[in-house]
Amino acid sequence: MANQVMEQLETPALILDEARMDRNIARMRSQVQRLGVVFRPHVKTNKCIDVARRLMETPQGPITVSTLREAEYFAAHGVTDILYAVCIAPNKMDHVMALQDQGVRLSLILDSMETARLLADRARATQRQFDLLIEIDSDGHRSGVKPDAPELIEIGRFLQDAGLPVKGVLTHAGSSYDAFTVDAIRAMAEQERAAVVHAAERLRAAGIACPVVSVGSTPTALFAEHLDGVTEVRAGVFVFFDLVMAGLNVCQTDDIAVSVLATVIGHQREKGWTILDAGWMAMSRDRGTAKQPVDQGYGLVCDLDGQPLDDLILVGANQEHGIMAHRSGKVDGALHLPVGTQVRILPNHACSTAAQYGHYSVLGKDHEITAVWQRFSGW
């Protein structure tokens, strides 16, 4: 595939703009260095060793994963320090132990006494140790123990008594995706930091060691003013960014490093529609900008140089058909792109769009495809 140009690709195809990606990584690296914490990148967005190698502080990690399949894949590529950042389920313990047997230092998280008891039973039955972090709920958006909850100390003490020392506490301020100004994101970053540091201090005050204090989301990581008391930061989507992040002013549209290359296959001119060969299978069903001030439909349409094209968006999507139209709905004077014209569509959500593909076509200068990087899916 090397030395191909983008125009020769069969569509739809997932394009990764290498220069934009490298710029995004440099921005996060500089911020993490300023904050003075360990960077544990989340690889759920990229699921690709070629991308992860540019993110990691060492070839062995650390990294954050969202599935044990990710842990398995990155372990096969030499990564040994892996945090699985979803509360563990009993049916995954055989998989966890197989990874431990391969030499992976896999950290698990939990947020309940129920899970603490299951893990203690499993540790006793198998004569194993598990590295455990307690998830803290810093914003009410999903999982975690409230930082002030009595259960936090109960879990910590139970684990310690069971011979499973608490490695730390972790939180994810998912609500930062609803913070539409830089000030709101900064406030959310401080809320995230303060909640998890408070939880760590409560554990320590109760005589429970808590060396790791982990926070992270792309918006809060990029806009945190300080992370006093925090030891590590996690973030994933920043590597590619997307329209949701641009809608939060966390990035600009010309920072978005992934796009879907698509081709015009027809028109319904009386409606101002152009039909593309990229539907929801190519874009994903993610409509993350629907709740933002600017709704980008199923994606923002750009020319082959990655510049937005006459305010065209995908207003609808079937499985393999995308309906492109002017954002305003105007029909007269809509840009006519002949059948065969290629466009690039910026996605609402990089994680979900990239997940629809088995590889990235890596874009260099002058529309050249310089590499093909494989990615994987599944659990």
Sites of contact with its own copies (CB under 8 A) = 8-13, 44, 66-68, 86-92, 94-95, 110-112, 114-115, 118, 137, 142-143, 174, 263-268, 275, 277, 280-282, 284-287, 318-321, 323, 338-340, 342, 351-352, 355-358, 377-379
| CB nearer to its own copies: pick between 180 and 379 | 379
| CB nearer to its own copies: pick between 10 and 305 | 10
Residues with Cβ within 8 Å of residue 30, at least 6 apart in sequence: none
Min dist CB 33 to its own copies, Å, is 27
Tokens of 132: 């455990």
Min dist CB 336 to its own copies, Å, is 10
| CB nearer to its own copies: pick between 35 and 349 | 349
What does the CA dihedral 304, 306, 311, 316 come to, rounded to 10 degrees? 70
| CB nearer to its own copies: pick between 91 and 205 | 91
Min dist CB 230 to its own copies, Å, is 22
Residues with Cβ within 8 Å of residue 33, at least 6 apart in sequence: none
Q: Quick one: 120 exposed, middle or buried, by C-beta within 10 A (0-12, 13-18, 19+)?
A: middle
Min dist CB 94 to its own copies, Å, is 8
Min dist CB 271 to its own copies, Å, is 8
Residue with tokens 């969202």: 66
Tokens of 13: 């195809």
| CB nearer to its own copies: pick between 129 and 318 | 318
CA distance 1 to 371: 7
Min dist CB 56 to its own copies, Å, is 20
CA distance 61 to 40: 7
- Give whole-number Cα distances, 81 to 26, 100, 104, 191, 231, in Å: 22, 11, 6, 27, 15
| CB nearer to its own copies: pick between 35 and 196 | 196
| CB nearer to its own copies: pick between 24 and 217 | 217
Residue with tokens 């998280």: 109
The full length of the chain comes to 379
Pairing of β 273-276 and β 322-326? antiparallel
Min dist CB 103 to its own copies, Å, is 21
